């Protein structure tokens, strides 16, 4: 592929619909599109949450060790991270409509296939397929948000997407144990896996390009950021790797994604092993944790816009919001030391809320720092680095628990990871959050 990167004005007819809009339009079709991303992401997280929630039951039936469970987590994580690198490029090249649909089919079928296996090796294989399919979700969703929302709305749209993440993990503890108790873990995988196929119907009928689906007034609102109307052709990954902006995003993901994976895959085991909570009792504490996370996602999606209205620059507003989120994770180090279950749950919930706020701003920063045509690839590369960090941390988790059964050190690492990431990104690499310049 040509190593040169060219920019040109997109072929957009010059009419009144292309003028800069100053106030939100009456049309709201972009939020219809956002609602489909919410549904897809909710399904995505419900499907990946299945293993963690069913782990106590599966561990009893199949008999895997702590290290073997960490291998299953790593099988998914490596496939997911590798897939994002590939899928981001595919999505940028072929577009989101077909790419997203194919991904949904793959991961939904893979979720259902869990019901057909009964060994550690069998689970590892289907976890790999699931990870490859699910890896397309965020590169595709962030590209859709960049295409369908102006800069001032993107953090809010990403925050709403973060709500979908937590809807998945809130609904899952309430629903999955109930299904598993009545229909077995096989039934849980089959029923939840089938849900994704329902989404394909509205996706094919409703999704398209803004100029084909939205009103002229809404298109003008979406395209108000004139510097966004460039087409970046033939961007090689090796070219993107030259930019400090990419490394800031990638290292931010590498240092903080592992903490979220820790929450998703190990919290049910933590509650079961250290608080003696059985399958039927997991729902209430996990729901509380992820209700906190919903609040964090919405709050941190709203805060940058509020700060900008108060006179903050866009860069300062985002950095301030992410610093607040990083500080809010610190108290989690005490979660294993307090006697009260609900105080421990509240500390974890605060950290989950902070992560979701952090993640919403981190993902939105890609469209701040790069042109739309590169968003999928940048998110994919960054997610791969997140995978590398997650695999390392998951292996550490398995080794620590196998040796001591003690979660304290794991929560202590989690408490400082975000502050370290914030310093690396905003003190060392991109203190001014300048936009990448392509020649």
Residue 17 counted as domain residue: no
pLDDT at residue 326 in the model = 96
**Which residues are paired to 230 by β-bridges?**
9
Nearest to 267 by CA among 253, 256, 282: 282
User: Domain range holding 104?
Assistant: 29-226+235-429
pLDDT computed for residue 169 by the predictor: 67
Please tell me what DSSP assigns to residue 1. Answer: -
Crossing angle, helix 314-329 and helix 408-423, to 10 degrees? Answer: 160
For residue 161, tell me if it sits in a domain: yes
Is position 179 within any domain? Answer: yes
List own/partner pairs for 111-115 with CB under 8 A and 24 or more apart. Answer: 111/47, 111/50, 111/189, 111/192, 111/193, 111/196, 112/189, 112/190, 112/193, 112/194, 113/189, 113/193, 114/50, 114/51, 114/189, 114/193, 115/185, 115/186, 115/187, 115/189, 115/190, 115/193
For 211, other C-beta atoms within 10 Å of its C-beta total 15
Per cent of the chain over pLDDT 70 is 90
Find the largest Cα–Cα distance for the chain. Answer: 68
Let me know if residue 437 belongs to a domain.
Answer: no
What is the pLDDT confidence band of residue 428, given thresholds at 50, 70 and 90? very high
d(CA 195, CA 168): 12
- pLDDT at position 88 is 74
- Range of weakest confidence among 34-43, 56-65, 231-240: 231-240
Q: How far is CA 419 from CA 162, 293, 315, 375, 425, in A?
A: 21, 19, 17, 25, 10
Encode pLDDT of 342-365 as tens digits.
999 999 999 999 998 898 899 888
3-state secondary structure of 233: strand
What pLDDT sits at residue 65? 76
Q: What is the pTM of this model?
A: 0.70
Q: What is the pLDDT of residues 72-107, one digit of tens each?
A: 888 888 888 788 778 877 887 788 899 999 999 999
* 136 vs 4, residue with greater confidence: 136
pLDDT of residue 402 exceeding 80: yes
Report yes or no: 223 and 401 within 8 Å, Cβ to Cβ: no
Domain-embedded: residue 10: no
Question: What is the per-residue pLDDT for 2?
Answer: 34
Side-chain-side CA neighbours of 264 within 13 Å: the count stands at 26
| pLDDT at residue 159 tops 60 | yes
Which of 46-50, 168-172, 284-288, 369-373 has maximum average pLDDT? 284-288
Q: Are 153 and 161 in contact (CB under 8 A)?
A: no
Nearest Cα to Cα of residue 264 among 359, 168, 174: 168
Mean pLDDT of the chain: 82
What would the two tokens of residue 436 be?
């990448």
Residues 172, 313: Cα–Cα separation, whole Å: 39
Among 113-127, 168-182, 203-217, where is mean pLDDT lowest?
168-182
Helix, strand, coil percentages in the chain from 3-state DSSP, rounded to 5: 80, 0, 20
CATH at residue 159 = 1.20.1250.20
User: Is 141 within 8 Å of 37 (Cβ atoms)?
Assistant: yes
State the pLDDT at residue 19. Answer: 38
pLDDT at residue 186 is higher than 80: yes
pLDDT in tens, 335-345: 989 989 999 99
Instruction: Name the token pair of 33.
Output: 């599109």
Total number of domains constituting the chain: 1
11 lies in some domain: no
- Which residues have CB under 8 Å from 359's CB, separation 6+? 162, 256, 260, 297
Angle at 48 between CA 198 and CA 263, to 5 degrees: 140
Within 10 A of 340 (CB to CB), how many other CB atoms are there? 9
Domain-located, residue 14: no
The answer to whether residue 434 sits within a structural domain is no
CA angle 421, 426, 428 (to 5 degrees): 90
CA distances from 252 to 78, 374, 428 (A): 18, 18, 12
Of residues 177, 173, 157, 68, the one with CA closest to residue 364 = 157
| SS3 per-residue string spanning 204-226 | HHHCCCHHHHCCHHHHHHHCCCH
What would the pLDDT profile of 232-288 be if each residue is shown by its tens digit?
Answer: 455 666 788 889 999 999 999 999 999 988 987 788 888 888 888 876 777 788 888
């Amino acid at each position: 592929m040509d190593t040169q990167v060219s920019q040109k004005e997109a072929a957009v007819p010059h009419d009144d619909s292309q003028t800069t809009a100053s106030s939100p339009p009456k049309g709201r079709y972009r939020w219809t599109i956002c609602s489909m991303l919410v549904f897809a992401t909710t399904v995505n997280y419900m499907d990946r949450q299945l293993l963690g929630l069913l782990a106590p039951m599966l561990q009893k039936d199949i008999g895997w060790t702590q290290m073997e469970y960490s291998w299953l987590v790593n099988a998914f994580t490596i496939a997911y991270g590798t897939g994002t690198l590939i899928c981001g490029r595919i999505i940028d090249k072929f577009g989101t409509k077909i790419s997203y649909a194919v991904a949904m089919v793959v991961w939904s079928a893979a979720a259902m296939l869990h019901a057909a296996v009964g060994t550690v090796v069998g689970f590892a294989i289907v976890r790999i397929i699931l990870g490859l399919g699910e890896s397309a979700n965020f590169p595709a969703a962030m590209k859709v948000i960049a295409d369908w929302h102006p800069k001032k709305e993107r953090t809010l749209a990403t925050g709403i997407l973060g709500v979908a993440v937590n809807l998945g993990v809130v609904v899952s503890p309430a629903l999955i144990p109930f299904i598993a108790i009545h229909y077995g873990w096989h039934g849980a995988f089959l029923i939840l896996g089938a849900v994704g196929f329902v989404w394909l119907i509205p996706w094919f009928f409703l999704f398209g390009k803004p100029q084909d689906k939205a009103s002229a007034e809404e298109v003008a609102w979406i395209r108000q950021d004139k510097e966004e109307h460039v087409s970046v052709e033939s961007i090689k990954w090796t070219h993107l790797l030259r930019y400090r902006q990419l490394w800031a995003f990638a290292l931010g993901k590498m240092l903080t994604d592992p903490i979220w994976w820790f929450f998703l895959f190990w919290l049910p085991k933590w509650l079961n092993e250290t608080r003696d909570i059985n399958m039927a009792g997991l729902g209430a504490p996990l729901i509380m944790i992820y209700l906190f996370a919903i609040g964090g996602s919405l709050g941190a999606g709203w805060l940058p816009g509020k700060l900008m209205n108060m006179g903050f620059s866009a860069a300062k507003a985002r950095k301030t919001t992410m610093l607040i989120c990083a500080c809010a994770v610190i108290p989690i180090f005490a979660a294993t030391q307090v006697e009260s279950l609900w105080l421990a749950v509240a500390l974890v919930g605060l950290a989950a809320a902070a992560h979701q706020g952090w993640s919403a701003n981190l993902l939105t920063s890609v469209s701040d720092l790069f042109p739309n045509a590169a968003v999928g690839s940048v998110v994919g590369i960054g997610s791969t680095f997140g995978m590398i960090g997650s695999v390392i941390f998951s292996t550490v988790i398995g080794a620590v628990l196998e040796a001591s059964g003690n979660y304290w050190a794991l929560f202590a690492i989690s408490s400082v990871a975000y502050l370290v990431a914030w310093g690396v990104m905003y003190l060392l690499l991109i203190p001014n959050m300048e936009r990448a310049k392509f020649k």
